[in-house]
Chain A
Amino acid sequence: MISTGRARTFWAKVLIITLLFPVAYLLMLSLATQWIFPSVLPASLTLDRWSTLLGASNLFGSLLLSLGIALSVATISTFAGFFSSKHLAYHPQRSLWMQLSYFPFVLSPVIYAAVLYFYFIKLDLSGSFFGVILGQLLIAYPYSVILFSGFWSERIQQIEKLTQTLGGSRWQIYRRVLLPMAQGLLLVCFFQTFLISWFEYGLTTIIGVGKVQTLTLKVFQYINEANFYNAALASSLLVLPPIILLFFNRKYLFRQRW
């Protein structure tokens, strides 16, 4: 019994290393001066690349752009989804709505963007910041609707009705009752939709025509240029914020259900 416990602890350590290794690798690659075959370790490390980032480099601009887009998409989709899902859930045709919301959710964003590109041009949204936000919303909003659908149960409906009979206006119901009750789920949804936007590449390339240069586009450009060090830098910028957020919220993670 004890030996299997020890074996398991050992393998758990192996697991941790396997899971954390990618981050360490990306960081090291972004700091390396040169790291080619057959060296297992980089020739040396340098902070130059990271410091030019903080200077007037368009990598920092991309970071801000990605952040701006992701925050917008997360906010809009979370609240619009929360609001819509209530009415969809209470509607007699609930099952129809739910079924419909799955299609854009699982559809490949790239193919979705390819067939909609024409309309984006006509609406003068192609190649624009707002066009990209709208495009990403088409993916994040259905996800939000699906995520919140489980929240609107009989119980919630009754609490709503109760608050109404107690004289609460619709706005008060939201502010004082529904939003606080859904707090955990709202946070999860915000985080998830933020990540959906933060990580998006294919749809952003097509609708943004390559002009809206988010971090993911930069990673791809560097890979194309075969500049693997910069690609690792851009990747680190993509990956580190969510990880840091996760780290500081780990207690919360362990409590809430997925």
Chain B
Amino acid sequence: MRISERKLFNNKAEAIGILLFLVLAVLPLVLGVIYALLYSLGVIGLVSDGFTFSYWQRALSDAEFWLSIGYTFYIALATIGLTIILSLFLSLYFRKELRHGLPGFAIYVPLAFPAIVVAFLFFQLLSQSGLFARIAFQLGLIADSSVFPELVNDPFGIGIIGAHTFMATPFFTLYFMNLYRQANLKEFRQVAESLGASAFEQLRRIVVPVLLKRAFPTLTLYTIFVMGSYEIPLILGRQTPQMMSVLVIRKLRRFSLATIPEAYITAIVFITIIIALLTLLFKSKNFSYDLDR
């Protein structure tokens, strides 16, 4: 992070602008990581005895720790996979309808839902005594609430994936629609059609690859978002496995004070994973720093 020592700031305004950025965006992260690191090494903290690697050893040898990392990746990737399929379908099939009128408005509605409300909603609808279960019961499809399939607080995180997908799909549907227009895909398709390509082939060879390629950075960023999710797995998840954010808070607030350093270790590992993913993203050719280009 060596900044050129020569003429750093051209004028006062620039100095303020950049310092503001450093103070609000860069410094906190650095300070936070330092604190977490020192705590995890036993250098600071009320119950620590001094520099030690024991907390790291304990954390890294804990199966739950690795399970949490794996589970976090699984949920994020499953969400983004499902979202891609659904939003591609919606943006292409309903391209006309979604541009105006009631459908055009309705697609924005889920974006007005915060994670905690989506989690609550899914719990209410999908639990074994939830609305869908009651409908099934009334229709005679199930005899008892326990027969209804486990869709929340379940081992595969179905409710969690569903909730995240519900939040992500409208966003990416709109995003794909926008990209479609920006990339002039309509014209490309017409050209392809005149050359004899069927609608399916147009989609397969032109539309989908172009959309996915252009959307790649945003898709990656959204995947990272989902990895850091807290409220949804908190309400719809199980005691184990847990996503990393939930694990960090749980370990931070334990009755055994000794696990607090482990919470910071989990936090550091999470931050490291994000840094690694972002670095890979920046190196990829598809990336440009502007969100909507």
Contact = CB atoms under 8 A, between A and B. Distances in A.
Task: Please determine if A and B sit in direct contact within the complex, based on CB atoms under 8 angstroms apart.
Answer: yes
Interface residues of B, number: 87
Interface stretch (B49-57, B206-214, B227-235): B227-235
Interface stretch (B59-67, B104-112, B149-157, B186-194): B104-112
B35 A119 contact: yes
B249 to A, nearest CB: 6
A112 interface: yes
B251 to A, nearest CB: 10
A235 B120 contact: yes
A239 B112 contact: yes
Secondary structure at the B interface, as helix, strand, loop or mixed, is helix
A198 B109 contact: no
A82 to B, nearest CB: 10
Contacts of B94: 8, 11-12, 15
Interface residues of A, number: 88
B38 to A, nearest CB: 10
B99 interface: yes
Contact of B228 (A110, A115, A195, A216): A110
Which of A84, A108, A253, A254 has most chain B Cβ within 10 Å? A108
Given A8-B93, A80-B20, A231-B120, A111 B270 contact: yes
A206 B231 CA distance: 13
A46 interface: no
B229 A108 contact: yes
A91 B18 contact: yes
B183 interface: no
Contacts of A106: 221, 224-225, 228, 274, 278
A136 B33 CA distance: 18
A58 B289 CA distance: 43
B3 A93 contact: yes
A87 B14 contact: yes
B203 interface: no
B231 A246 contact: no
Nearest to A153: B290
Interface in A112-127: 112, 114-116, 118-119
Nearest to B100: A254
Contacts of B24: 80, 137-138, 141-142
B116 A216 contact: yes
B290 A22 contact: no
A19 B107 contact: yes
Interface in B63-120: 90, 93-94, 97, 99-100, 102-117, 120
A125 to B, nearest CB: 12
Q: Is the interface of A mostly helix, strand, loop or mixed?
A: helix
B230 A108 contact: yes
B28 A150 contact: no
A115 B38 CA distance: 11
Contacts of B100: 254
Given A25-B131, A246-B112, A254 B28 contact: no
Contacts of B257: none
Given A239-B113, A246-B112, 8 more contacts: A22-B113, A25-B125, A80-B20, A86-B17, A101-B25, A102-B278, A103-B278, A220-B231
Interface of A: 8-9, 11-12, 15-16, 19-20, 22-23, 25-26, 29, 36-40, 80, 83-84, 86-88, 90-112, 114-116, 118-119, 137-138, 141-142, 145-147, 149-150, 170, 195, 198-202, 206, 216, 219-220, 223, 228, 231-232, 235, 238-239, 242-243, 246-247, 250, 253-254, 257-258
Cβ-closest 10 pairs across A and B: A108-B228, A87-B17, A199-B114, A115-B32, A150-B290, A242-B112, A37-B129, A98-B289, A19-B106, A235-B117
